[in-house]
Amino acid sequence: MILGEKIRTLRLAAKLTQDELAGKLEISSQAISKWENGSCAPDIYMLPKLSVIFGVTIDELFDITIENKLHRIENMLVIEDSISDESFSNTEKFLKEQLESNPDKGKVYALLGRLYHHRMRHDSYWVSFYAKKSLKDNPFQKDVAWFLQMSEGAAIPDWNIRQHSKTIRFYKDMTRKFPDVPEHYLELMENLLADQRTTEAHDVLNKYKCIPGHQEKNILIYESKIALCEKKFEEADQWINELLTNYPDDEIALFKAAGYFAELCDYEKALKYYKKSYEKGTSPRYTDSLLAQAIIYEIQENYPEAISCYK
Protein backbone atom coordinates (compact mmCIF):
# COMPACT_ATOMS: atom_id res chain seq x y z
CA MET A 1 0.00 0.00 0.00
CA ILE A 2 1.42 3.40 -0.99
CA LEU A 3 1.63 6.18 1.59
CA GLY A 4 -1.37 8.14 0.23
CA GLU A 5 -3.64 5.10 0.40
CA LYS A 6 -2.42 4.37 3.93
CA ILE A 7 -3.21 7.94 5.05
CA ARG A 8 -6.72 7.66 3.57
CA THR A 9 -7.32 4.30 5.27
CA LEU A 10 -6.13 5.64 8.64
CA ARG A 11 -8.13 8.86 8.24
CA LEU A 12 -11.33 6.95 7.58
CA ALA A 13 -10.62 4.58 10.47
CA ALA A 14 -10.19 7.63 12.72
CA LYS A 15 -13.50 9.02 11.36
CA LEU A 16 -11.87 12.26 10.23
CA THR A 17 -12.80 14.27 7.15
CA GLN A 18 -10.07 15.73 4.95
CA ASP A 19 -10.91 19.16 6.38
CA GLU A 20 -10.62 17.91 9.98
CA LEU A 21 -7.27 16.23 9.32
CA ALA A 22 -6.04 19.35 7.53
CA GLY A 23 -7.05 21.44 10.55
CA LYS A 24 -5.09 19.24 12.92
CA LEU A 25 -2.04 19.50 10.66
CA GLU A 26 -2.58 23.24 10.00
CA ILE A 27 -2.51 22.76 6.23
CA SER A 28 -5.11 22.95 3.44
CA SER A 29 -7.57 20.17 2.71
CA GLN A 30 -6.33 20.27 -0.89
CA ALA A 31 -2.94 19.02 0.35
CA ILE A 32 -4.64 16.06 2.02
CA SER A 33 -6.50 15.31 -1.19
CA LYS A 34 -3.26 15.37 -3.20
CA TRP A 35 -1.60 12.97 -0.74
CA GLU A 36 -4.48 10.53 -0.93
CA ASN A 37 -4.71 10.51 -4.73
CA GLY A 38 -0.95 10.06 -4.99
CA SER A 39 -0.13 13.28 -6.85
CA CYS A 40 2.28 14.32 -4.09
CA ALA A 41 3.58 13.08 -0.73
CA PRO A 42 3.68 14.78 2.68
CA ASP A 43 6.88 16.53 3.68
CA ILE A 44 9.03 14.51 6.04
CA TYR A 45 8.34 16.83 8.99
CA MET A 46 4.65 15.88 8.70
CA LEU A 47 5.26 12.19 9.40
CA PRO A 48 5.65 12.47 13.21
CA LYS A 49 2.45 14.57 13.36
CA LEU A 50 0.55 12.01 11.28
CA SER A 51 1.80 9.15 13.46
CA VAL A 52 0.56 10.94 16.61
CA ILE A 53 -2.86 11.75 15.11
CA PHE A 54 -3.42 8.19 13.89
CA GLY A 55 -1.76 6.48 16.86
CA VAL A 56 0.67 4.50 14.72
CA THR A 57 4.44 4.44 14.29
CA ILE A 58 6.11 6.06 11.30
CA ASP A 59 7.07 2.57 10.14
CA GLU A 60 3.39 1.60 10.17
CA LEU A 61 2.60 4.60 7.97
CA PHE A 62 4.85 3.06 5.33
CA ASP A 63 3.53 -0.48 5.90
CA ILE A 64 7.04 -1.76 6.62
CA THR A 65 6.91 -5.52 7.17
CA ILE A 66 8.08 -7.20 10.35
CA GLU A 67 10.87 -8.90 8.41
CA ASN A 68 12.06 -5.54 7.05
CA LYS A 69 12.02 -4.07 10.56
CA LEU A 70 14.16 -6.94 11.84
CA HIS A 71 16.55 -6.45 8.94
CA ARG A 72 16.79 -2.73 9.73
CA ILE A 73 17.63 -3.56 13.35
CA GLU A 74 20.38 -5.92 12.17
CA ASN A 75 21.85 -3.17 9.98
CA MET A 76 21.63 -0.62 12.81
CA LEU A 77 23.55 -2.91 15.17
CA VAL A 78 26.30 -3.37 12.58
CA ILE A 79 26.59 0.20 11.31
CA GLU A 80 25.88 2.45 14.30
CA ASP A 81 28.65 3.04 16.84
CA SER A 82 26.17 4.31 19.41
CA ILE A 83 22.40 4.11 19.78
CA SER A 84 20.32 6.79 21.49
CA ASP A 85 18.38 5.86 24.62
CA GLU A 86 15.12 6.41 22.73
CA SER A 87 16.17 4.21 19.82
CA PHE A 88 17.38 1.52 22.23
CA SER A 89 14.10 1.56 24.18
CA ASN A 90 11.97 1.47 21.02
CA THR A 91 13.99 -1.40 19.57
CA GLU A 92 13.89 -3.32 22.85
CA LYS A 93 10.11 -2.83 23.12
CA PHE A 94 9.53 -3.96 19.53
CA LEU A 95 11.68 -7.08 19.89
CA LYS A 96 10.05 -8.09 23.17
CA GLU A 97 6.65 -7.71 21.52
CA GLN A 98 7.86 -10.00 18.74
CA LEU A 99 8.55 -12.74 21.28
CA GLU A 100 4.79 -13.00 21.72
CA SER A 101 3.96 -13.46 18.02
CA ASN A 102 7.00 -14.11 15.83
CA PRO A 103 7.46 -17.82 15.00
CA ASP A 104 11.23 -17.35 14.64
CA LYS A 105 11.88 -16.69 18.33
CA GLY A 106 15.51 -17.76 17.98
CA LYS A 107 16.19 -14.84 15.65
CA VAL A 108 14.40 -12.40 17.96
CA TYR A 109 16.32 -13.64 21.02
CA ALA A 110 19.56 -13.28 19.04
CA LEU A 111 18.72 -9.70 18.10
CA LEU A 112 17.89 -8.87 21.71
CA GLY A 113 21.25 -10.29 22.73
CA ARG A 114 23.00 -8.27 20.04
CA LEU A 115 21.13 -5.14 21.13
CA TYR A 116 22.30 -5.49 24.75
CA HIS A 117 25.81 -6.42 23.59
CA HIS A 118 25.91 -3.27 21.45
CA ARG A 119 25.11 -1.16 24.52
CA MET A 120 27.56 -3.15 26.66
CA ARG A 121 30.35 -2.65 24.11
CA HIS A 122 29.61 1.08 23.92
CA ASP A 123 29.54 1.37 27.72
CA SER A 124 32.74 -0.70 27.99
CA TYR A 125 34.54 1.92 25.91
CA TRP A 126 33.70 4.57 28.51
CA VAL A 127 34.53 2.27 31.43
CA SER A 128 37.98 1.81 29.89
CA PHE A 129 38.31 5.51 29.06
CA TYR A 130 37.59 6.73 32.58
CA ALA A 131 39.55 3.94 34.29
CA LYS A 132 42.66 4.98 32.37
CA LYS A 133 42.01 8.63 33.14
CA SER A 134 41.74 7.72 36.82
CA LEU A 135 44.98 5.73 36.82
CA LYS A 136 46.85 8.48 35.01
CA ASP A 137 45.60 11.01 37.54
CA ASN A 138 46.45 8.76 40.50
CA PRO A 139 48.74 5.88 39.40
CA PHE A 140 48.88 4.42 42.93
CA GLN A 141 45.21 3.44 42.98
CA LYS A 142 44.72 -0.29 43.49
CA ASP A 143 40.99 -0.66 42.91
CA VAL A 144 40.70 0.54 39.30
CA ALA A 145 42.68 -2.01 37.26
CA TRP A 146 39.84 -4.51 37.42
CA PHE A 147 37.73 -2.08 35.34
CA LEU A 148 40.13 -2.78 32.47
CA GLN A 149 39.77 -6.50 33.06
CA MET A 150 36.01 -6.21 32.66
CA SER A 151 35.92 -3.65 29.84
CA GLU A 152 38.95 -4.60 27.72
CA GLY A 153 39.50 -8.24 28.55
CA ALA A 154 42.77 -7.38 30.31
CA ALA A 155 44.59 -10.31 31.93
CA ILE A 156 43.00 -11.52 35.17
CA PRO A 157 45.53 -12.69 37.79
CA ASP A 158 43.12 -14.68 39.96
CA TRP A 159 42.41 -18.27 38.87
CA ASN A 160 38.88 -18.33 40.27
CA ILE A 161 37.84 -15.18 38.38
CA ARG A 162 39.25 -16.13 34.99
CA GLN A 163 37.59 -19.55 34.83
CA HIS A 164 34.96 -20.27 32.18
CA SER A 165 32.99 -22.78 34.25
CA LYS A 166 29.54 -21.33 33.58
CA THR A 167 30.09 -21.31 29.83
CA ILE A 168 31.52 -24.83 29.95
CA ARG A 169 28.48 -26.12 31.85
CA PHE A 170 26.19 -24.46 29.33
CA TYR A 171 27.88 -26.02 26.29
CA LYS A 172 28.12 -29.42 27.97
CA ASP A 173 24.36 -29.25 28.41
CA MET A 174 23.91 -28.14 24.79
CA THR A 175 25.94 -31.07 23.45
CA ARG A 176 23.75 -33.42 25.48
CA LYS A 177 20.48 -31.87 24.32
CA PHE A 178 21.55 -31.26 20.71
CA PRO A 179 24.25 -33.87 20.04
CA ASP A 180 24.33 -33.32 16.26
CA VAL A 181 25.20 -29.59 16.33
CA PRO A 182 28.97 -29.37 15.60
CA GLU A 183 29.46 -25.77 16.73
CA HIS A 184 28.59 -26.57 20.35
CA TYR A 185 31.48 -29.04 20.58
CA LEU A 186 33.91 -26.47 19.17
CA GLU A 187 32.79 -23.78 21.63
CA LEU A 188 33.05 -26.28 24.47
CA MET A 189 36.61 -27.23 23.51
CA GLU A 190 37.67 -23.58 23.22
CA ASN A 191 36.51 -22.86 26.76
CA LEU A 192 37.98 -26.05 28.18
CA LEU A 193 41.34 -25.21 26.63
CA ALA A 194 41.15 -21.66 27.94
CA ASP A 195 41.00 -23.26 31.41
CA GLN A 196 43.75 -25.81 30.59
CA ARG A 197 41.28 -28.72 30.90
CA THR A 198 42.90 -30.77 28.15
CA THR A 199 41.71 -34.22 29.26
CA GLU A 200 38.10 -33.12 28.91
CA ALA A 201 38.89 -31.40 25.62
CA HIS A 202 40.24 -34.72 24.27
CA ASP A 203 36.97 -36.43 25.22
CA VAL A 204 34.90 -33.74 23.51
CA LEU A 205 37.02 -33.95 20.36
CA ASN A 206 36.46 -37.71 20.21
CA LYS A 207 32.70 -37.13 20.41
CA TYR A 208 32.94 -34.43 17.73
CA LYS A 209 34.66 -36.89 15.38
CA CYS A 210 31.60 -39.16 15.56
CA ILE A 211 28.85 -36.70 14.65
CA PRO A 212 27.65 -36.49 11.02
CA GLY A 213 28.30 -32.76 10.59
CA HIS A 214 31.95 -32.69 11.71
CA GLN A 215 34.68 -31.25 9.48
CA GLU A 216 37.99 -33.04 9.10
CA LYS A 217 39.96 -29.81 9.17
CA ASN A 218 38.50 -28.97 12.58
CA ILE A 219 39.83 -32.26 13.93
CA LEU A 220 43.35 -31.25 12.85
CA ILE A 221 42.88 -27.74 14.24
CA TYR A 222 41.78 -28.94 17.68
CA GLU A 223 44.35 -31.74 17.84
CA SER A 224 46.97 -29.01 17.42
CA LYS A 225 45.30 -26.75 20.00
CA ILE A 226 45.20 -29.54 22.58
CA ALA A 227 48.81 -30.55 21.91
CA LEU A 228 49.94 -26.93 22.20
CA CYS A 229 48.03 -26.53 25.47
CA GLU A 230 49.81 -29.65 26.78
CA LYS A 231 53.18 -28.19 25.70
CA LYS A 232 53.66 -31.01 23.15
CA PHE A 233 55.16 -28.66 20.60
CA GLU A 234 56.44 -31.22 18.08
CA GLU A 235 53.08 -32.97 18.01
CA ALA A 236 51.27 -29.65 17.62
CA ASP A 237 53.55 -28.75 14.70
CA GLN A 238 52.75 -32.07 13.03
CA TRP A 239 49.01 -31.44 13.23
CA ILE A 240 49.38 -27.94 11.77
CA ASN A 241 51.63 -29.19 8.97
CA GLU A 242 49.01 -31.82 8.13
CA LEU A 243 46.35 -29.12 8.12
CA LEU A 244 48.36 -26.98 5.69
CA THR A 245 49.15 -29.97 3.48
CA ASN A 246 45.53 -31.09 3.26
CA TYR A 247 43.96 -27.62 2.98
CA PRO A 248 46.52 -25.37 1.24
CA ASP A 249 43.87 -23.08 -0.29
CA ASP A 250 41.29 -23.08 2.49
CA GLU A 251 40.71 -19.62 3.99
CA ILE A 252 39.75 -20.94 7.43
CA ALA A 253 42.56 -23.52 7.62
CA LEU A 254 45.11 -20.85 6.70
CA PHE A 255 43.63 -18.45 9.26
CA LYS A 256 43.79 -21.06 12.03
CA ALA A 257 47.36 -21.99 11.11
CA ALA A 258 48.28 -18.30 11.27
CA GLY A 259 46.74 -18.08 14.73
CA TYR A 260 48.76 -21.11 15.81
CA PHE A 261 52.02 -19.43 14.82
CA ALA A 262 50.93 -16.15 16.41
CA GLU A 263 50.36 -18.03 19.70
CA LEU A 264 54.00 -19.14 19.46
CA CYS A 265 55.09 -15.55 18.72
CA ASP A 266 56.41 -16.75 15.35
CA TYR A 267 55.12 -13.58 13.78
CA GLU A 268 56.69 -13.93 10.34
CA LYS A 269 54.95 -17.26 9.74
CA ALA A 270 51.76 -15.88 11.24
CA LEU A 271 51.84 -12.92 8.85
CA LYS A 272 52.54 -15.24 5.92
CA TYR A 273 49.44 -17.33 6.55
CA TYR A 274 47.19 -14.43 7.54
CA LYS A 275 48.02 -12.85 4.18
CA LYS A 276 47.32 -16.11 2.37
CA SER A 277 44.05 -16.50 4.23
CA TYR A 278 42.93 -13.04 3.16
CA GLU A 279 43.94 -13.72 -0.45
CA LYS A 280 41.91 -16.93 -0.52
CA GLY A 281 38.84 -15.27 0.96
CA THR A 282 35.71 -14.98 -1.12
CA SER A 283 33.30 -12.07 -1.32
CA PRO A 284 32.13 -10.66 1.01
CA ARG A 285 35.57 -10.81 2.61
CA TYR A 286 35.97 -10.83 6.37
CA THR A 287 38.51 -8.42 7.85
CA ASP A 288 39.79 -10.73 10.63
CA SER A 289 43.01 -11.57 8.77
CA LEU A 290 43.77 -7.90 8.22
CA LEU A 291 43.06 -7.03 11.85
CA ALA A 292 45.32 -9.87 13.00
CA GLN A 293 48.11 -8.57 10.77
CA ALA A 294 47.64 -5.06 12.16
CA ILE A 295 47.99 -6.36 15.73
CA ILE A 296 51.23 -8.16 14.85
CA TYR A 297 52.64 -5.07 13.16
CA GLU A 298 51.77 -3.03 16.25
CA ILE A 299 53.58 -5.57 18.43
CA GLN A 300 56.59 -5.20 16.12
CA GLU A 301 56.18 -1.39 16.27
CA ASN A 302 55.81 -1.34 12.49
CA TYR A 303 53.09 1.28 12.58
CA PRO A 304 52.97 2.19 8.86
CA GLU A 305 52.13 -1.43 8.00
CA ALA A 306 49.60 -1.59 10.83
CA ILE A 307 47.87 1.53 9.52
CA SER A 308 47.75 0.08 6.00
CA CYS A 309 45.94 -2.99 7.36
CA TYR A 310 43.38 -0.88 9.18
CA LYS A 311 42.70 1.04 5.96
Tens of each residue's pLDDT in the chain, 311 residues: 578 888 888 899 889 999 999 999 999 999 999 999 888 888 878 888 888 898 887 777 777 678 888 888 899 898 888 888 988 998 899 899 999 888 999 999 999 999 999 999 999 999 999 999 999 999 988 788 888 888 988 888 889 999 999 999 999 999 999 999 999 999 999 999 999 999 999 999 999 999 999 999 999 999 999 999 999 999 999 999 999 999 999 999 999 999 999 999 999 999 999 999 999 988 778 899 999 999 999 999 999 999 999 98
Residues 6+ apart with CB under 8 A from 308: none
In contact, 121 and 153? CB cutoff 8 Å: no
Residues 6+ apart with CB under 8 A from 58: 47, 48, 51
Domain 3-61 CATH superfamily: lambda repressor-like DNA-binding domains (1.10.260.40)
CATH topology of domain 163-247: 1.25.40
Q: What single letter denotes the amino acid at residue 215?
A: Q
The Cα–Cα gap between 209 and 309 comes to 37
> Phi-psi region for residue 288, left (φ > 0), alpha (ψ -120 to 50) or beta?
alpha
- Please give the model's pTM, rounded to 2 decimal places: 0.77
